[in-house]
Structure 1
Amino acid sequence: MASSDLEDLCLHINMKISTIKKTLQLRNIGQEPSLKSMLCKIGHDMVLLHDLLNKMETEVQQQEKLNNLLKELQKSAERDQNEAQHLCENIPPHLPKPTRSCITGLTVKCEEQAKVVEPERAKKPTKEPRLIKEVPLITAEEFESVPAYMKGRLTYDQINAVVQDLNKAVVGKYKILHQPLKSMNAPVRNLYHRFLEDETKDTKGEFFIVEADIKEFTQLKVDKRFHGILNILRHCQRVREVRGSKLVRYVIC
């Protein structure tokens, strides 16, 4: 047997003897009445400490699960933010308006469905809805192309806000013109006749408004700023002017 193996064996035996001695000493100490209460208290504290460690371990596991959920939520929020940023950077200048063909197709489709549901009933031919031509909104590219001397301090949103007011006036006017005369009361009938008087051979078949129409249907002020915006709309070929009989008619292009 090598000397190193003998030394390791001796060391192992001495450690066992030392452990037995400490165990016997602790057992003897535990028999002393003055130390029994302290040992009981230590044992109770050990049980409480064990329970506390278990609770802490459970709490750590729950926090780890919550942390994983928050990471997933963060990734989802980042994806939504990227999509929202992409949409914000690619907002179309304006939404397309329904065309005559779309409305006609929808009317024909509704008529066909009605014929399928009620084949025996005779249907009166439905009138094609009369469209009202409106001023298309200015696009961002068009706004950038407007000369600086025309724009001045006007913004893209301010110009399109005026466009929306002009459309209110156009819709308000031509809704009255498309109404049956018998259904009108006296004030509306007066407006109807004024609309007819404003027409000329140059505006026949066109949609147009005058300053009186703007004041009638909107809160828009017809001032220097308004006329500056009209210059921009003429430049962008949204409206054109027809003058005559001391009246300026704004025709929708």
Structure 2
Amino acid sequence: MEMMAINENLIMTHCELEDITKHLDNRISSLRRVFDLRIIAKDQDKRIILGKISQDLLTVDGLLDQFEKCVCSQRDLLKHLKELEEYFHEDVQNGRYLRDHMPTHMPRKGPTANQGPVSESGLVDVQPNKQEHPRKTPKNHVKQMEFITSPEFESIPQYMKGRVTYDQLNAAVENINTALTGKYKVCHQPVKNMNNATRKLHQRFKEEENKETKGRFFIVEADIKEFTQMKVDKRFVSILNMLRHCQRLREQRGQGLTRYVLV
């Protein structure tokens, strides 16, 4: 065992001596080249060549500096592109999420440009623009109720919403629009082209109008039953309260009838 340890020490010492010897040989070779160059530099012609080599080395050194700057610039550009790639992937994920979670009912338009701030009572302070002229609507135009937006739905008190969901509320808006379209399609028909059933409906519609509803679009519960499959029950009453809270309609009572007038 002692002999093996001695041999190992000798091997390690031999390797270290080889490294030291190699290092010394390299230093001696370098010194010899320096002396050779000093001897060459004494010759005038060769000194000119060495000067040109020196200029070439300076040129190469300058090119290396420019190359290093270019590499740094490209490295920074690559880093920036990777950041943009991350943002792009994030936008793609957000877009896919929006595509997969698209609401069933989308509002058709946002607030108008002349819409003012919301007051404490929740009413919108509308400031009319004197320079704008009101657009003329077609004679047979039927006003439609705007769908409820998510912020509007969140603003409804929980006791008023109950178990009614966002989609159910907008489904009711769609049914009300269907009833409006069916009712005023009959109103806009020439009387001479009506059959007996349509003429009776037309007569009922005329009888339900009064001074307060003149020029406005409204429906009654009978219109919901006539033109839609929606049930007129306690949930329907709750939905009407929510729509009134969101300023989509108002109630007008008279002659034993409740009219739901579009705002």
Which TM-score bucket, shorter chain as reference? 0.5 to 0.7
Is there any run of 5+ residues in structure 2 with no aligned partner, and where? 1-88, 111-133
Kept after mapping to 2: 8 A contact 1:207/1:251? yes
Q: Does 1:250 align with 2:260?
A: yes
Kept after mapping to 1: 8 A contact 2:220/2:260? yes
SS in 2 for 1:248: strand
Find the partner of 1:157 among 151, 167, 171: 167
The aligned counterpart of 1:212 is 222
* Structure 1 pair 231–80 and aligned structure 2 pair: CA distance change class (3 A): same
Deviations 1:84-137 (A, max 9, x none): 22545786842339xxx9997xxxxxxxxxxxxxxxxxxxxxxx4521011111
Deviations 1:51-70 (A, max 9, x none): xxxxxxxxxxxxxxxxxxxx
- Structure with higher RCO (Cα < 8 A, 6+ apart): 1
Matched AA of 1:238: R
Q: CA deviation at 1:251?
A: 0.3
Q: How much is the aligned-residue C-alpha RMSD, in angstroms?
A: 3.0
The aligned counterpart of 2:147 is 137
> Whole-Å Cα distance in 1 between the matches of residues 183 and 101 of structure 2?
37
- Number of matched pairs: 154
Matched AA of 2:95: E
Is there any run of 5+ residues in structure 1 with no aligned partner, and where? 1-76, 105-127
Deviations 1:128-165 (A, max 9, x none): 45210111110000000111111111110010011100
Find the partner of 1:191 among 186, 201, 217: 201
Alignment of 1:15-94 (within 5 A): 83-88=95-100, 93-94=106-107
Matched AA of 1:130: N
> Whole-Å Cα distance in 1 between the matches of residues 153 and 139 of structure 2?
33
The aligned counterpart of 1:239 is 249
The aligned counterpart of 1:73 is none
> Whole-Å Cα distance in 2 between the matches of residues 235 and 78 of structure 1?
37
> Whole-Å Cα distance in 1 between the matches of residues 201 and 159 of structure 2?
38
The aligned counterpart of 2:108 is 95
More helix by share: 1
The aligned counterpart of 2:183 is 173
SS in 2 for 1:203: coil
TM-score (norm 2): 0.52
TM-score (norm 1): 0.54
* Structure 1 pair 192–143 and aligned structure 2 pair: CA distance change class (3 A): same
Deviations 1:17-72 (A, max 9, x none): xxxxxxxxxxxxxxxxxxxxxxxxxxxxxxxxxxxxxxxxxxxxxxxxxxxxxxxx
Q: CA deviation at 1:239?
A: 0.8
